[in-house]
Structure 1
Amino acid sequence: MTTQDKNVERASKLDTATLSDALDKLGIVGQCHKIKARSTEFRTAGRAFTIKYGPASNPPGTVGDFIDDVPAGSMIVLDNNGREDATVWGDIMTEIAHRRGIAGTVINGVCRDVALCLKLGYPVFSRDHWMRTGKDRVQVEATNVPVNIGEARVQPGDILRGDADGVIVIPKEHEDAVLDAAETIHRAEEAIREACRGGMRLDEARKQFKYHQLQTREQ
């Protein structure tokens, strides 16, 4: 994450649950279904650097020689069409990405060598993990093109936020509106917690701070 990117910084301070509620309020699909953190300790945010995969040709193409072109602070977003029989991320990629200051990796598919990402604290989010290589099974089709991650569309430069609850994508053209809405929701929920700590009933606090309207879709 770069200090100059204020919206990435704003997103990094908000939980995915709060961002999900903001997306619902605005009618935007950005929740990456079934994409999970390999560790509940992983929290990260950055702008998408996308890779689209397809089945390997004959002779097969490369699985992942793009790593040196990814800017520091980016989120690497790998769309392997949800495949769970062949990995597209492993320990070499984790080590290099960690060393280069990349924010994390999100995979519509599976990774392997989970022990190293846990050891280094490098955030990886995927459908699952399994050991079988993608070499000679899948190949890179395109770089920095629109991809699909858990039923959510991701375009290069979109903000991704990941934490223990999963991954959210915030479309670039809507990021100010989404972040404004999420910050409003966050402030209201903090006010409800504080009121309850002071002795107010939960139903009264929710009514006072309009909790039940926070996620209602705007007309």
Structure 2
Amino acid sequence: MDPTEDRNVARAAKLDTATLSDALDKLGIAGQCYRIQGRDPSFRMAGRAWTLLYGPAGNPPGTVGDYIDDVPPGSVIVLDNGGRDDATVWGDILTEIAHRRGIAGTLIDGVCRDTHLCRKLGYPIFSKAHWMRTGKDRVQVEATGVPVNIGNARVAPGDLVKGDCDGVLVIPRAHEDRVLETAEAIEAAEDRIRAAVRDGMRLDEARKAFRYHQLQAREAA
């Protein structure tokens, strides 16, 4: 599907991760990617996951990957490097090409390098950290288009990925309509609470009126 015609990507792009996280919690769905942050607080991304799994390099070592030209525009490239922080799997060449090709962003369970360029171009990268040492001869591609783990969250190809200044999360494709509907309802209720307080209502009264304390409460199975 053309990412510009993907209605649910557009819906996710309008919501912040805090609201989506509350919706995931309410529905009992794990999707928050623990300790994964944007390399710049201004970074925002939303798109469908294109996944790649890394493993330790063999002997002789395999490649870190020449996959970038096969990634559809609008995708989020999701790289599972096992949380490894001593060898990077993303640098400035990939950033430049991904930005030029209209990739929505990159998500890494591990580290990246050359962060100056992603900040200069405004290309969103979300990772555990950044460090300069290459992954060449240290890691290699094991598989593409498979479920991966990012910050203790499972990401399958085609899942919805959303990142902003509070972090990044994944919405499983099978549940995305329900998660988005719940998040939109939470956002609408919180907007009504803020509006009521601005009009003079006490916060506790506004929260009670719009059932604030039930917004994130786990739904019964």
Q: TM-score, normalised by structure 2?
A: 0.98
Note the aligned Cα RMSD (angstroms).
0.7
| Cα distance in 2, alignment partners of residues 131 and 142 from structure 1 | 24
Identical-residue share of aligned pairs (%)? 74
Aligned to 1:17: 18
1:178 aligns with 2:182: no
| Cα distance in 2, alignment partners of residues 141 and 2 from structure 1 | 27
Q: Map 1:93-172; keep pairs closer than 5 Å.
A: 93-172=94-173
**What amino acid is aligned across from residue 27 of structure 2 in structure 1?**
L
Task: For residue 64 of structure 1, report the CA deviation from its aligned partner.
Answer: 2.1
Deviations 1:3-24 (A, max 9, x none): 2100000000000000000000
Q: Map 1:57-68; keep pairs closer than 5 Å.
A: 57-68=58-69
Task: For residue 206 of structure 1, report the CA deviation from its aligned partner.
Answer: 0.6
Task: For residue 2 of structure 1, report the CA deviation from its aligned partner.
Answer: 2.0
Aligned to 1:70: 71
**What amino acid is aligned across from residue 176 of structure 1 in structure 2?**
D
Task: For residue 149 of structure 1, report the CA deviation from its aligned partner.
Answer: 0.3
Q: TM-score, normalised by structure 1?
A: 0.99
| Cα distance in 2, alignment partners of residues 149 and 84 from structure 1 | 13
| Cα distance in 1, alignment partners of residues 206 and 6 from structure 2 | 35
**What amino acid is aligned across from residue 156 of structure 1 in structure 2?**
P
| Cα distance in 2, alignment partners of residues 14 and 73 from structure 1 | 17
| Cα distance in 2, alignment partners of residues 198 and 144 from structure 1 | 51
| Cα distance in 2, alignment partners of residues 198 and 3 from structure 1 | 38
Unmatched tracts of structure 1, length 5 or more: none
Q: Secondary structure at the match of 2:141?
A: strand
Deviations 1:158-193 (A, max 9, x none): 000000000010000000000000000000011111
Moved over 3 A (4+): none
Deviations 1:111-157 (A, max 9, x none): 00000000000000000000000000000100010000000000000
**What amino acid is aligned across from residue 19 of structure 2 in structure 1?**
T
Aligned to 1:56: 57
Q: How many residues align?
A: 219
Q: Secondary structure at the match of 1:82?
A: strand
